Amino acid sequence: MLAALVNGRVLTAAGILDGQAVLIEGGRIAGVVPLAEVPASAARRDLAGGLLVPGYIDTQVNGGGGVLFNDAPTVETIAAIGAAHRKFGTTGFLPTLISDDLSVVDQALRATEAAIAAGVPGVLGVHIEGPFLNPKRKGIHDAGKFRILDEAAIALLSSLKVGRTLVTLAPERTTPETIQRLADAGVHVAAGHTNASYATLRQALDHGLTGVTHLFNAMSPLTSREPGVVGAVLENQDAWAGIIVDGRHVDPVTLKIALRARPLDRFMLVTDAMPTVGMTDKRFTLQGQEIVVRDGVCVGEGGTLAGSDLDMAGAVRNAVRMLDLSIADAVMMASAAPAAFLGLADQRGRIAPGYAADLCLLDDDLNVTATWIDGNEG
């Protein structure tokens, strides 16, 4: 059945358009047409002047709605996380498993396959963040879970049958050839929790590394004599960099400087969200350690950052208010950029004919008032 979203402002590649309707059929966008050209047979949904934008895609979602992926890597957990974040405009996401045993990694991969097969809304794949990380930049991760990327691990990480697999690793803890093997197997490889030198990161970028997980956090910094991972990323113009825009993980001034060094469409807004998102209870347990939310950020013992209490709607608002970005650029960093990173640039992240009808409706304060995933409002 043909549906028409009418009486809203529509964010397209040409800018924010008035007087246009978005036609949806079979879960995809059938057209963006003047209101007068909407077929009489179409079922109309009045947007009441709201701003219709592409749905947000979050590549780093540890939890939400009171559940953590590591605690129970199941279809039910993935569905609960997706439902919690959908309220904040996330229409596509990668449930994220932080460093754990390979048996748990296997459970996460199999649960992701099952969730996609079951039609859980929004699941695009899975993000395995560790355990192939550097203890010197472990952050809140349990270094006792860390291991070397061996043949068994390579085979496991390459085993997802549907959807995208993103793996965060420390390049200095493996070899360029191994990174290339993962990339050749279809795995998206990002650097994170890494103490790599500039030269090592540059070499990884030449061997299939295409992303960086939470730029500036848990990685070797830019210094006067050793540019480190941060310097290698700021110099590079092609790799995608996830950024957590909550005003606490990275100072907004630092992020503004980074944005001026590289193309905007190579930055992705991510939440690194924990179970507290969408909940009034702002504490949880992570691998035996109590985590609490203080001043809007999740912290463990001693004040170590432990993910975030951020949602994507908040990330977009912060990008506009803290980083002085236009609404169009902030939304692009939450939709088209992560879609391109995942190899989905021709399918998601834009309001254009042929694209998945993954959309969210915003009010004047950029709060989410409605979402659509594959054309279904929820």
Which residues are marked as active site? 272
Question: Which element (helix H / strand E) includes 25?
Answer: strand 15-25
End-to-end CA distance of the chain: 17
Q: Per residue, what are the HEC states of 282-318?
A: CEEEECCEEEEEECCEEECHHHCEEEECCCHHHHHHH
Angle at the Cα of 192 (from 187 to 197), degrees rounded to 5?
110
Beta strands in 203-296 (DSSP E): 209-212, 240-243, 267-269, 283-286, 289-294
- The answer to whether the beta carbons of residues 164 and 123 sit under 8 Å apart is no
**Please, which contacts does 31-40 make with residues 24 or more away whose CB atoms are closer than 8 Å?**
31/353, 32/351, 32/352, 32/353, 35/6, 35/7, 38/4, 38/6, 39/2, 39/4
Nearest-angstrom CA–CA distance, 247 and 249: 6
Closest-CA residue to 85 (of 312, 286, 243): 312
Nearest-angstrom CA–CA distance, 293 and 299: 6
HSE-CB of 243 using CA atoms within 13 angstroms: 33
Closest-CA residue to 284 (of 251, 307, 317): 307
- The answer to whether the beta carbons of residues 283 and 63 sit under 8 Å apart is no
Q: How many CB atoms lie within 10 A of CB 66?
A: 16
Nearest-angstrom CA–CA distance, 178 and 92: 29
Question: Which residue's entry shows tokens 């995208």?
Answer: 164
Which tokens go with 308?
A: 């975030």
- The answer to whether the beta carbons of residues 332 and 315 sit under 8 Å apart is no
